[in-house]
């Protein structure tokens, strides 16, 4: 296999003294029509996989296949969403809940009480210089929400999306189809969260192995990656 990294990304990484390649796999543009995401992943990896490989998949493409991505124009933020978003710390590495539309999806996904509790304790923690408390309380489904951004491949540059549902089950289905362990990940330049995993996945290893976000998050169109230990 001719392993090539995405632009400005490293192909190799060392974890616990061992060297691994992270091969980005270019796929078709995933849409809500691709309801059998396992079939899509298998089709694009079947000629590439070797024994011992691990497949990891961006959570957004799984969410898209489940119909959980929505045109921004179809989201109508409530007064609460418009109010809470004023207190979200803006970041250069992603929208997160920094727009009224993504905040509304978070409210819809985890409920008003949980969002309010997360906001209260998140704000309190900031006073003491502690970051990330909001997302710890709001949970993975709130953390996985993605906003519309110019750098995202069209048409999803105008979409907002929730995280996938039944991510563990989806990972198992893809693993059964491909014959290798599978992880569904929420990865960006800020960090990695494993949202779903099949048997044989060490979540701590996955986080370390893709901590530099080798798939990227702009127009690469590589939502699938292969982790392979280098023995030479």
Contact between 116 and 103 (Cβ < 8 Å): no
pTM recorded for the entire structure? 0.89
Question: Among 5-9, 70-74, 204-208, which stretch is predicted with the lowest mean pLDDT?
Answer: 5-9
Res 205 pLDDT > 80: yes
Res 39 pLDDT > 80: yes
| Proportion of the chain above pLDDT 70, given as a percent | 94
Greatest Cα pair distance in the chain: 58
Average pLDDT over the chain reads: 90
**Architecture in CATH for domain 12-68+163-229:** 2-Layer Sandwich (3.30)
Which pLDDT tens digit goes with each residue over 161-187? 999 999 999 999 999 999 999 999 998
d(CA 135, CA 151) in angstroms, rounded, equals 24
Give 204's contacts (C-beta < 8 A, 6+ positions apart): none
CA atoms within 13 A on the CB side of 102: 24
Task: Write down the domain spans for the chain.
Answer: 12-68+163-229, 70-161
The more confident residue out of 155 and 229 is 229
Res 91 pLDDT > 70: no
- Residue 93 DSSP symbol: T
Res 117 pLDDT > 80: yes
């Amino acid at each position: 296999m001719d392993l090539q990294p995405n632009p400005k990304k490293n192909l190799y990484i060392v974890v616990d003294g061992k060297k691994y390649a992270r091969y980005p796999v270019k796929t078709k543009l995933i849409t809500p029509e691709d309801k059998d995401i396992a079939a899509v992943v298998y089709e694009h990896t079947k000629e590439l996989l070797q024994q011992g490989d691990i497949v990891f998949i961006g959570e957004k493409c799984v969410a898209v296949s489940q119909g959980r991505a929505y045109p921004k124009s179809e989201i109508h933020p409530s007064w609460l969403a418009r109010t809470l978003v004023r207190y979200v710390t803006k970041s250069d590495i992603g929208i997160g809940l920094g727009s009224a539309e993504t905040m509304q999806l978070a409210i819809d996904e985890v409920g008003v009480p949980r969002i309010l509790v997360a906001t209260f304790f998140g704000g309190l923690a900031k006073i003491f210089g502690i970051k990330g408390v909001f997302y710890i309380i709001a949970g993975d489904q709130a953390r996985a929400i993605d906003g519309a951004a110019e750098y995202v491949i069209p048409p999803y540059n105008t979409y907002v999306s929730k995280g996938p549902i039944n991510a563990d089950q989806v990972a198992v289905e893809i693993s059964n189809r491909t014959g290798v362990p599978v992880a569904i990940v929420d990865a960006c330049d800020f960090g990695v969260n494993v949202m779903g995993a099949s048997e044989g996945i060490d979540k701590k290893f996955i986080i370390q192995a893709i901590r530099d976000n080798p798939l990227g998050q702009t127009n690469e169109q590589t939502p699938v990656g292969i982790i392979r230990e280098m023995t030479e």
